């Protein structure tokens, strides 16, 4: 299944709809423009295995370019629309991109990055003076399939905890461009995705999961409704307006929808929903319980990463029986390893690895690639967790987020999951800050609910709240308050920025 097939069998079916404008691109239009893009890439000399970089927003162009690259056997590197020129120049250089395509809003940063890179071979398509926009460059090219189609794939850059991001480079597919993929099998088998799917895309399409799931829907011949940015009430309105059957969210989206007034939540019809899928970050148990109580047993969860070295998944009924679990393996096999690198018994905490999953490497970083694999070839996303006797995985935290205070291991995720349930808290992050006596001290950085004053008295109330639930050892020694916490547009907390800030303050840096 593939858009080129749907362009023939159902040409007028919407491939995607822009939520803000209701603009529609049909499968006939998508396929024709993707074919033109593929011809452009071949004309430029791009061959199988080459890399193409884009800085594009949530618009039609991201799909046109993605499907053009996919049928050319290219690696597609989608870069954040929030990127700096320096970071974009780094990605262009590291990935070896031969072409950069930038939307109108990102043409200036593309030009700055190109100038910083100083490459004489990089071809840039943008709306900057003297440049040709991608659509214009393709406009006179054939709308038919290229003579040498070859399946491509994405190579996306992980945000990383320290240093520069790393390109996650999977192996290029070797089958035909319309071959089934593991994600298609997952979507069909677990979530009932198919040609009748009306899918709500809630997050930036330069991220792995949003882009990949949207393209899965288009492989099936369904329709993708694209939000420019997430808004809690708008998402409910779109579900009703477009009779959405499938949607993907992150836990932060759930929190924001649940905090809407009751009269707002009850205003919209969500009966069309068949499967709602969440991932990307841990979901506090009370939040998920509330979503299942609201929407019913259609709330699914999976755990994976940009590397896709393995996937676990479970449905709502399984989760209600195993609250807090992220499921059993549906791709690869879960292995929990102790400090000696050997497997530990069920119920024992350790490093989470996947065996027998898809192969990947970190582009141009053999050392990081080696550190992500053990001597048996098993791969890790650097999470800590345990499995029960039935093989259900429970995550404790990211290994890099673990706080060691006075020799005690403390996992901030547990504290964050509790804090976010407090009625006067909008958002929360817990980090370890340098401490001369304890090594690290536990710091909670809290975004109070509108109208709540973040002061010493509120901090003391929160300290008592945490101590009563988790005990004194896990209770933050310090509560700080902010109007907003740094999150990526997907809702992922950028904890590394907070840690860096506190470390710099402790070191006396400005």
Residue 505 structure tokens: 């303050």
Residue 504 structure tokens: 């710099």
pLDDT digits (tens, 9 = 90+) for 467-478: 888 888 889 999
Find, among 51, 49, 85, 62, the residue nearest to 15 by Cα.
62
Return the pLDDT at 366.
92
| Residue 504 pLDDT greater than 90, yes or no | no
Q: Is 264 helix (H, G, I), strand (E, B) or coil?
A: helix
Find, among 481, 463, 478, the residue nearest to 433 by Cα.
478
pLDDT band for 452, please (50, 70, 90 cuts).
very high
| Residue 19 pLDDT greater than 50, yes or no | yes
Backbone angles phi, psi at 257, to 5 degrees: -70, -40
Residue 344, CB-side half-sphere exposure with 13 Å CA sphere: 18
* Separation CA 309–CA 169 (nearest Å): 11
* Separation CA 328–CA 165 (nearest Å): 29
pLDDT digits (tens, 9 = 90+) for 175-191: 999 999 999 999 999 99
* Separation CA 473–CA 192 (nearest Å): 45
Give the position of tokens 């395509």: 101
Domains 18-179 and 219-398 share a fold: yes
CATH architecture of 219-398: 3-Layer(aba) Sandwich (3.40)
Domain boundary assignment for the chain: 18-179, 219-398, 411-506
Give the single-character DSSP code of 475: S
Backbone angles phi, psi at 168, to 5 degrees: -90, 110
| Residue 489 pLDDT greater than 80, yes or no | no
Residue 365 structure tokens: 């970083």
DSSP per residue, 317-353: HHHHHSTT--BEEEESEEEEE-TTSSB--TT--EEEE
Backbone angles phi, psi at 385, to 5 degrees: -170, -165
Pick one of 3.40.50.720, 3.40.50.12780, 3.40.630.30, 3.30.70.270 as the CATH number of 18-179: 3.40.50.12780
pLDDT digits (tens, 9 = 90+) for 293-351: 999 999 999 999 889 899 999 999 999 999 999 999 999 999 999 989 999 999 999 99
Per the CB < 8 A criterion, the answer to whether 442 and 404 are in contact is: no
pLDDT digits (tens, 9 = 90+) for 189-247: 999 999 999 999 999 999 889 999 999 999 999 999 999 999 999 999 999 999 999 99
Greater model confidence, 77 or 412 = 77
Return the pLDDT at 213.
96
Find, among 164, 120, 150, the residue nearest to 50 by Cα.
150
What dihedral do alpha carbons 86, 362, 328, 389 form, nearest 10°? -120
Per the CB < 8 A criterion, the answer to whether 124 and 116 are in contact is: no
Please, which residues bridge with residue 425 across strands? 448
Per the CB < 8 A criterion, the answer to whether 442 and 432 are in contact is: yes
* Separation CA 294–CA 309 (nearest Å): 33
| Residue 509 pLDDT greater than 70, yes or no | no
Q: What is the CATH number of domain 411-506?
A: 3.30.300.30
Mean pLDDT computed over 359-369: 91
Per cent of the chain over pLDDT 70 is 97
pLDDT band for 163, please (50, 70, 90 cuts).
low
Residue 272 structure tokens: 């069309």
Give the position of tokens 């470390």: 503
Return the pLDDT at 432.
87
Return the pLDDT at 159.
61
Per the CB < 8 A criterion, the answer to whether 384 and 396 are in contact is: yes
pTM reported for the whole predicted model: 0.82
Per the CB < 8 A criterion, the answer to whether 479 and 462 are in contact is: yes
Return the pLDDT at 161.
43
Mean pLDDT computed over 282-303: 93
Return the pLDDT at 162.
46
* Separation CA 384–CA 158 (nearest Å): 19
pLDDT digits (tens, 9 = 90+) for 61-81: 999 999 999 999 999 999 989
Q: How many angstroms separate the Cα of 269 from the Cα of each of 17, 247, 472?
A: 20, 15, 44
Find, among 283, 296, 225, the residue nearest to 254 by Cα.
283
Per cent of the chain over pLDDT 90 is 74
Task: Give the per-residue SS3 of 23-66.
Answer: CEEEHHHHHHHHHHHHHHHHHCCCCCCCEEEEECCCCHHHHHHH
* Cβ neighbour number for residue 431 with a 10 Å cutoff: 24
């Amino acid at each position: 299944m593939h858009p080129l097939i749907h362009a023939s069998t159902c040409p007028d079916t919407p491939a995607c709809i822009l939520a803000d404008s209701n603009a529609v691109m049909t499968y006939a239009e998508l396929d024709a423009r993707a074919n033109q893009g593929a011809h452009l890439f071949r004309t430029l000399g791009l061959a199988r295995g080459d890399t193409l970089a884009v800085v594009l927003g949530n618009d039609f162009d991201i799909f046109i370019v993605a499907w053009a690259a996919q049928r050319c056997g290219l690696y597609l590197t989608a870069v954040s629309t929030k990127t700096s020129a320096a970071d974009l120049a780094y990605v262009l250089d590291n990935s070896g991109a031969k072409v950069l395509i930038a939307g109108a809003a990102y043409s200036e940063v593309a030009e700055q990055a190109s100038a910083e890179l100083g490459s004489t071979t990089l071809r840039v398509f943008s709306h900057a003076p003297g440049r040709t926009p991608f659509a214009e460059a393709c406009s006179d090219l054939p709308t038919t399939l290229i003579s040498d189609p070859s399946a491509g794939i994405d190579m996306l850059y992980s945000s990383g905890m320290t240093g520069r991001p790393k390109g996650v480079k999977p192996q290029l597919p070797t089958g035909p461009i319309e071959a089934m993929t593991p994600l298609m099998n997952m979507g069909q088998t677990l979530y009932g995705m198919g040609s009748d799917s009306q899918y709500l895309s809630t997050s930036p399409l330069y991220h792995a999961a949003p882009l990949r799931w949207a393209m899965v829907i288009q492989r099936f011949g369904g329709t993708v409704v694209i939000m420019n940015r997430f808004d809690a009430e708008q998402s409910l309105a779109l579900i009703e307006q477009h009779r959405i059957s499938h949607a993907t969210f992150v836990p932060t989206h759930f929190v924001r929808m649940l905090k809407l007034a009751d009269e707002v939540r009850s205003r919209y019809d969500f009966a069309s929903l068949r499967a709602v899928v969440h991932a990307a970050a841990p979901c506090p148990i009370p939040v998920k319980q509330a979503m299942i109580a609201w929407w019913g047993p259609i709330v699914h969860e999976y755990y994976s990463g940009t590397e896709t070295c393995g996937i676990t998944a479970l449905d709502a009924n399984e989760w209600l029986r195993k609250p807090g679990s992220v499921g059993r393996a549906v791709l690869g096999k879960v292995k929990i390893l102790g400090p000696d690198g050997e497997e530990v018994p069920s119920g024992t905490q350790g490093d989470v690895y996947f065996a027998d999953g898809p192969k990947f490497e970190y582009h141009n970083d053999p050392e990081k690639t080696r550190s992500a694999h053990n001597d048996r070839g098993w791969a890790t996303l650097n999470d800590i967790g345990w499995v029960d006797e039935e093989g259900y995985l429970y995550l404790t935290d990211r290994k890099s987020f673990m706080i060691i205070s006075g020799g005690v291991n403390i996992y901030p995720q547990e504290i964050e999951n509790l804090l976010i349930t407090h009625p006067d808290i909008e958002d929360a992050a817990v980090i370890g800050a340098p401490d001369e006596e304890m090594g690290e001290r536990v710091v909670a950085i809290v975004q109070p609910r509108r109208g709540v004053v973040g002061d010493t008295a509120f901090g003391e109330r929160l300290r008592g709240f945490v101590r009563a639930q988790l005990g004194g050892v896990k209770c933050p020694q310090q509560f700080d308050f902010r109007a907003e916490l740094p999150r990526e547009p997907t809702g992922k907390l950028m904890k590394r920025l907070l840690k860096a800030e506190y470390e710099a303050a402790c070191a006396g840096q400005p």
